[in-house]
Homo-oligomer: A and B are copies of this chain.
Amino acid sequence: MSTSIFYHAGCPVCVSAEHDILNLIGSDNVEVVHLGKDRTRITEAERAGVKSVPALVTPNGNTLHINFGASMADVIG
């Protein structure tokens, strides 16, 4: 399986969803990116269609927004 990318910003909703996604998909299959700490990845996330975090970008490029922690505007600050 190719790798999905889980974008988050450390919020409680993000952390809870991260645990669920890693349990469901397997941590080997997911790259976890903290956009608050790794701000160089923000542009990439926006290009992938991420409008809010947490979000999972699948290997085929679909973006799944999972619950709602914070908007990208809030992440960018």
Using CB atoms and an 8 Å cutoff, list the residues of chain A in contact with chain B. 1, 4, 16-17, 20-21, 23-25, 29, 58, 60, 62, 64-68
Contact = CB atoms under 8 A, between A and B. Distances in A.
Contacts of A17: 64
A1 B20 CA distance: 13
Total copies of this chain within the assembly: 2
13 contacts: A16-B62, A17-B64, A20-B58, A20-B62, A20-B64, A21-B64, A23-B58, A24-B25, A24-B29, A24-B58, A64-B66, A64-B67, A66-B66
Contacts of A23: 58, 60
A48 B54 CA distance: 20
A58 B67 CA distance: 13
A5 to B, nearest CB: 12
